[in-house]
Chains A and B, each alone.
Chain A
Amino acid sequence: MNAISTSLHQPDAANTPPEKAPGSRYTILDRKAPRLSHYLAHWEALLALLLVAVFVGNSVFLPNFFDTYNLADSTFNFSEKALIALPMALLIICREIDISVSGTLALSSVAMGFAHHHGVPPAGLLFVALAMGAVCGSLNGVLVTRFALPSIVVTIGTVALFRGLASVILGDQAYTGYPQLLIDWGQGYFFDIIPRPFVILLAFAVLFAVLLHATSWGRRIFAIGSNPMAARFSGVAVDRYRFALFVLTGAMAGLAAWLLTGRIGSTRPNIAMGWELEVITMVILGGVSIAGGKGSIGGVMLAVLLLGMVTYGLALLNIPGVIMTIVVGILLLITIALPRLLNRKQTKK
């Protein structure tokens, strides 16, 4: 269906071809001069405007919103999720998806608790979490690449497996009594004001943005997402990229587990329940196309901040978190439906 609608969207310039260079069979069009409307048509610009609107609106109407400490603390709510959203964006751009991230997170947290109670020093727990996450991710990766299975089915299976293993190890108990180091990173601040998880998130956002938008590695992810066959014929090791992205996603879920466990100070069976859908919502709201090949880390980060500011505003208004799920759901539906409704006449049914 996409093939039809894109073929209908021929660029306007094709109707009036400019003068050909003498002796050339090809015409190379001039790059269009950028205009303001051009920038506004970008998803990221709309998100940024929306973010500014929410920020200003909240600051005007909510007396405690524009308080540096409150604002800084509000980032705790989304930093861990956003850390998973970054690699998830890469996966979705690559036409894959990982439903199992919350299971990976739970299992990594359990592995940390298990290691801690068996004498692993506090500094080693980070590596336990990362390793567990990477192992979970590589299981997904092997099943998707080696056996050519659809990732959505594989990860629906592995989320049950990972969460199940976590609850087998935990039973009806919970791991508590984590070392101070973990708590320092999970709920601590730099310079007494900036939460550490948020700083980690920003550092990783920059890293992922460079990786995706400024390296050939990142360009190839777009190539795979746009057309896996063509990418394979162009010599891109498609399956190696897919595998690497699944491992990366698992490891980032492990990092999120490390921070989350430090923040809440315990590992319970229902840790991070339902996060996979919140993370995917962040990514899609950030303008990443579920059909692959399109998206940016900037968009994802804007979506993360937008959702964070809306949640924070609603929390100040004492509105229960469940209402937030309605807001997020409607936001998601509007963002995907609106462009389609506006372009209704151009796409033929």
Chain B
Amino acid sequence: MHYLKQREVQLALLIVLLAGAVGLRAPVFLTTGSLGNLLTDSTLLIMLALTQMFVIVTRGIDLSVASNLALSGMMAALLAVNYPDLPLGLVMLVAVLIGLLLGLVNGYLIGYLDLPPIVVTLGTMSVYRGLVFVLSGGAWVSSHQMPANFIAFPLSHLFGVTHLVWIAAAAIIVTWLLARYTRFGRDLYAIGNQPLAARYVGISTARRLFWTYGLSGMMAGLCGYLWVARYAVAYSEIAYGFEFTVIAACVIGGISIAGGAGTVAGAVLGALFLSVINNALPIIKVSPFWQSALTGIVILTAVLINARGNKKAGRQILPLAMLQPSSRSAA
């Protein structure tokens, strides 16, 4: 019974229940093909939520992931189109490195210059999105221009599931190890819990933040290639507004925006939950126009539930919530 009280377990049960309920209405939802699609569709959100989790754990926020994804994706696409003979691995590496570089720009400004993350990433978000347009000249790169293997890779199957799923699985394992068993990961939790104490015990906050945002950017770069290749099109508006979906997945997964609390499992389950809803809606014939409204309701419900779990009992004359570090005071 102890496990049932854990947020991640509850969320996992909720996802199973939801999928089961949708399956009752429309049995086609629970076929292997449909579930495979669901997994493939959720991978990009899961991967981005994983690194966003690290950022939020340090009391930060990275609004620039979607723009970073678009810019690295566009660069990868242009590279593949202009040099079709380049090996695919190299194109992917370039996308990852561009993403890393863009992320490190955030990291430098936030870590070393100690600037508020929300403002910095708001600024780089506009800049990166604008650069996509400059780079592409506003033109689309469409599927017939891209080399065949560039497009084929993400959806090719290996042992029954797509490459995307394998990559996401690898990302989950790596981030889990990073969060639980490395000094880097533990330091991030320390920084998020109490930045001042973290500095007193000798954690180099600036360096840690530098690489945390670098990591977030790196993942955005990888997802940039995967996104462009999966949907076989690159244009300046790709993944527009996706940063909020990523943050929503983290919030649903119980990652506290006030920093210091959050798990890899939470991020994965939060992203899965959103994907299940989005994939189930067309199947149970709910108008797709409801998707955004439902997402909003889910986010609000999730934060309400999470907040209730944290509430202390007893009568309060002054709201103690103000004593807790809020995200804004950190920003």
Which residues does chain A contribute within 8 Å of B257, judged by CB atoms? Answer: 150, 152-153
Whether B57 is near chain A, meaning CB under 8 Å from some CB there, is no
Which residues does chain A contribute within 8 Å of B241, judged by CB atoms? Answer: 274
Which one of A4, A159, A292, A336 contacts B296 once the chains associate, using CB atoms below 8 Å? A159
Which residues does chain A contribute within 8 Å of B303, judged by CB atoms? Answer: 149, 153-154, 157
Which residues of chain A from 276 to 290 have a CB within 8 Å of any chain B CB?
277, 280-281, 284, 290
* Contact code string B219-230 (vs A, CB < 8 Å = 1, else 0): 000000000000
* CB-based contact B244/A171 at 8 Å: no
* Contact code string A254-282 (vs B, CB < 8 Å = 1, else 0): 00000000000000000000100100110
A interface, how many residues as a size bin? 35 or more
Whether B236 is near chain A, meaning CB under 8 Å from some CB there, is yes
Chain A's nearest CB lies how many Å from the CB of B255? 10
Interface segment among B24-32, B73-81, B121-129, B150-158: the answer is B121-129
Which residues of chain B from 266 to 323 have a CB within 8 Å of any chain A CB?
287, 289-297, 299-300, 303-304, 307, 318-319, 321-323
Which residues does chain B contribute within 8 Å of A330, judged by CB atoms? Answer: 123, 127
Chain A's nearest CB lies how many Å from the CB of B172? 24
* Contact code string A314-347 (vs B, CB < 8 Å = 1, else 0): 0000001011111011101100110011000001
Which residues does chain B contribute within 8 Å of A341, judged by CB atoms? Answer: 113
* CB-based contact A1/B289 at 8 Å: no
> How many Å lie between the Cα of A96 and that of B328 in the bound state?
7
* Contact code string B249-262 (vs A, CB < 8 Å = 1, else 0): 00100000110000
Which residues does chain A contribute within 8 Å of B114, judged by CB atoms? Answer: 1, 5, 340, 347
> Which residue of B is nearest A330, CB measured?
B127
* CB-based contact B328/A329 at 8 Å: no
Which residues does chain A contribute within 8 Å of B120, judged by CB atoms? Answer: 333, 336
* CB-based contact B331/A160 at 8 Å: no
* CB-based contact B327/A164 at 8 Å: no
Which residues does chain A contribute within 8 Å of B326, judged by CB atoms? Answer: 95, 150
Which residues of chain A from 69 to 121 have a CB within 8 Å of any chain B CB?
95-97, 99
Whether B134 is near chain A, meaning CB under 8 Å from some CB there, is yes
* CB-based contact A290/B331 at 8 Å: yes
> How many Å lie between the Cα of A347 and that of B295 in the bound state?
43
* CB-based contact A229/B322 at 8 Å: yes
* Contact code string B4-33 (vs A, CB < 8 Å = 1, else 0): 000000000000000000000000000000
Whether B130 is near chain A, meaning CB under 8 Å from some CB there, is yes
* CB-based contact A277/B122 at 8 Å: yes
Interface centre among A156, A161, A328 (most CB of B within 10 A): A156
Chain B's nearest CB lies how many Å from the CB of A103? 8
> How many Å lie between the Cα of A268 and that of B240 in the bound state?
18
Whether A168 is near chain B, meaning CB under 8 Å from some CB there, is yes
Which residues does chain B contribute within 8 Å of A238, judged by CB atoms? Answer: 322
* CB-based contact A160/B127 at 8 Å: no
> How many Å lie between the Cα of A83 and that of B202 in the bound state?
46
> How many Å lie between the Cα of A320 and that of B323 in the bound state?
47
> How many Å lie between the Cα of A341 and that of B109 in the bound state?
10
> Which residue of B is nearest A145, CB measured?
B319
Whether A3 is near chain B, meaning CB under 8 Å from some CB there, is yes
Which residues does chain B contribute within 8 Å of A160, judged by CB atoms? Answer: 244, 248, 292-293, 295-296, 299
Which one of A148, A153, A284 contacts B251 once the chains associate, using CB atoms below 8 Å? A153
Which one of B112, B119, B125 contacts A284 once the chains associate, using CB atoms below 8 Å? B119
* CB-based contact B300/A148 at 8 Å: no
Q: With A3-B196, A152-B328, A291-B329 as given contacts, are A161 and B127 in contact (CB-CB < 8 Å)? A: no
> How many Å lie between the Cα of A163 and that of B328 in the bound state?
24
> How many Å lie between the Cα of A39 and that of B300 in the bound state?
45
Interface centre among B113, B258, B296, B326 (most CB of A within 10 A): B296
Whether A20 is near chain B, meaning CB under 8 Å from some CB there, is no
Whether B242 is near chain A, meaning CB under 8 Å from some CB there, is no
Which one of B115, B247, B328 contacts A95 once the chains associate, using CB atoms below 8 Å? B328
Chain A's nearest CB lies how many Å from the CB of B254? 12
Which one of A161, A171, A328 contacts B300 once the chains associate, using CB atoms below 8 Å? A161
> Which residue of A is nearest B247, CB measured?
A156
* CB-based contact B318/A325 at 8 Å: no
* CB-based contact B328/A156 at 8 Å: no
> How many Å lie between the Cα of A162 and that of B292 in the bound state?
9
Q: With A161-B297, A340-B114 as given contacts, are A1 and B307 in contact (CB-CB < 8 Å)? A: no
- List 19 contacting pairs A-B, 8 Å CB cutoff, sorted by A: A3-B196, A5-B114, A152-B327, A159-B244, A160-B293, A164-B289, A164-B290, A168-B293, A171-B287, A229-B322, A229-B323, A277-B126, A284-B122, A292-B329, A320-B138, A322-B134, A332-B123, A333-B120, A333-B123
Please list the residues of chain A having a beta carbon within 8 angstroms of any beta carbon in chain B.
1, 3-5, 95-97, 99, 143, 147-154, 156-165, 167-168, 170-171, 228-229, 232-233, 238-239, 274, 277, 280-281, 284, 290-292, 320, 322-326, 328-330, 332-333, 336-337, 340-341, 347, 349
